[in-house]
Amino acid sequence: MTTLASPVSGDAITAVAAQFAAVRRQSLVLCESLTAEDMMVQSLPEGSPAKWHLAHTTWFFETFILREFASGYQPFHPDFLWLFNSYYNGISDQPEKKLRASFSRPAFVDIVAYRRHVEDAIASMLNHEPAQEALTRLVLGLHHEQQHQELLLTDIKHALWSNPVRPVYREGNLGTHAQSAPLLWHEYEGGLREAGYQGEEFSFDNERPRHSLYLQPFRIASRPVTCGEYLEFIQDSGYRRSELWLSAGWDAVREHGWQAPLYWQHEEGAWQIFTLHGPADFGTLRDTPVCHISHFEADAYARWRGLRLPTEFEWELAASPVPAHGNLLEGGRLHPAVAPQSSSEVHDRQPLQLYGDVWEWTASAYLGYPGYRPVPGALGEYNGKFMSGQMVLRGGSCATPASHIRATYRNFFAPSTRWQFSGVRLAQDVS
């Protein structure tokens, strides 16, 4: 995390307090359409119930800020320290992740009371000249909660899809049969470049330190791959051709029986795609970016096209001059949108949809940058302990909060992960 300037000004405290209130309110807003029963469902081992997300994000503020920096603070419940711990072994043991759906108690009303208890204590701390480190951790906690807001949505989407009656999370119309902007190629010179966060605002420790690296000349696609384009891969027996797949990817195809992206279903000769607005006809979404594919599927599609995935550093070079705006959480669509047709020269100058819509798989393994050091103590477990067996994604999705994303942001998941809003943008070498 980034250390705030010292001394802490009153304006800085006011700004963080306002952001704290807004982020905490947003988490509850995302749950407004859910029943108490919805909030208990954990439909896949790597997911979590909505109720747990609300509790764990509160646990973070209590554990790393109030317990250490708020004089006289009384924890809400003595068992919550271990019950809602996710993976911080330096803090306590924790229940097995796949069992979170069994936590019928504490009840939802108790979780809401827990949130209020912690929020009141944070407000009191902010009124009494908080330590610089406390404010720094508070900012980290806000970004942590924003990560969980996206996870809450992807988890509830899977939970509703797993329900045989396919409930709707939010009523809404995803639009008509709009046509995507044509795919163009943007070329970038090679040479010595810099990557990683540089600035005074918040960043995660895995975005730093900024460092130099050498890139070969490359081209990157002007937009992500669409559902219609991915369907051509399926129709060309892409899921049955072992030569297109990484070895572990082919194992996953056979083990899980993959035949299409997650949430695609073929019925009565036609494809449907399940969304947070319910099932949608394929024709409506044909030109939207394909999503809910694994790294293995993204890589196999690229091979089928005779192309490749961009490295995370190629992606960052392309995205750095582009404002971080797009189809993000606040827009309310909650599904990727069609790359807009435009008569302007913007499409010719820079790629489209770099931010929002879908997280874009890269060819880069999730590792620390040269000189990377985790922060001291239990907070060092936030990112560093996962730098093994994961692949980097960039750009955010339609479920990512707008204030949470930037060009240097590094998301990461195991290459078989499909329940996130993950898609693919192609790249190629310049011969």
> In this structure, is residue 73 part of a structural domain?
yes
> In this structure, is residue 387 part of a structural domain?
yes
How far, in Å, CA of 137 to CA of 74, rounded?
Answer: 19
Q: Specify the pLDDT at position 345.
A: 52
* Better pLDDT: 5 or 209: 209
Domains: count for the chain:
2
Q: Specify the pLDDT at position 396.
A: 98
Q: Are 222 and 184 in contact (CB under 8 A)?
A: yes
Q: What's the rounded mean pLDDT across residues 291-308? A: 98
Q: What's the rounded mean pLDDT across residues 384-394? A: 96
Mean pLDDT for the chain? 94
Q: Specify the pLDDT at position 4.
A: 38
Residue 5 binned pLDDT confidence (cut-offs 50, 70, 90): very low
Q: What percent of the chain has pLDDT above 90?
A: 89
Q: Is 157 helix (H, G, I), strand (E, B) or coil?
A: helix
Report the residue count for the chain. 431
| Statement to judge: residues 29 and 137 lie in one domain | yes
Tokens of 195: 């990557």
Say if residue 349's pLDDT is above 90: no
Q: Is 227 helix (H, G, I), strand (E, B) or coil?
A: helix
CATH code: domain of residue 291: 3.90.1580.10
Say if residue 2's pLDDT is above 50: no
Tokens of 352: 């489209």
> In this structure, is residue 179 part of a structural domain?
no
> In this structure, is residue 354 part of a structural domain?
yes
> In this structure, is residue 411 part of a structural domain?
yes
| Statement to judge: residues 248 and 144 lie in one domain | no
Render pLDDT for 311-331 as a digit per residue (tens, 0 to 9): 999 999 999 999 999 999 999
Say if residue 30's pLDDT is above 50: yes
Please list, in sequence order, all residues whose beta carbon lies within 8 angstroms of the beta carbon of residue 21, skipping any fewer than 6 positions away. none
> In this structure, is residue 245 part of a structural domain?
yes
Q: What's the rounded mean pLDDT across residues 389-401? A: 98
CATH code: domain of residue 109: 1.20.120
| Statement to judge: residues 284 and 406 lie in one domain | yes
* Signed CA dihedral, 368, 372, 377, 382: sign only: negative
Q: Specify the pLDDT at position 1.
A: 41
| Statement to judge: residues 98 and 242 lie in one domain | no
| Statement to judge: residues 150 and 192 lie in one domain | no
| 204-237 residues labelled b (16+ CB within 10 A) or e (exposed) | bbbbbeeeeeebeebbbbbbbbbbbbbbebbeee
- Domain around 229: 185-429
DSSP string covering 343-409? SSSHHHHS-S--SBSSEEEEEEE--PPTT--PPSSGGGGTTGGG-SS-EEEES--TTS-GGG--TT-
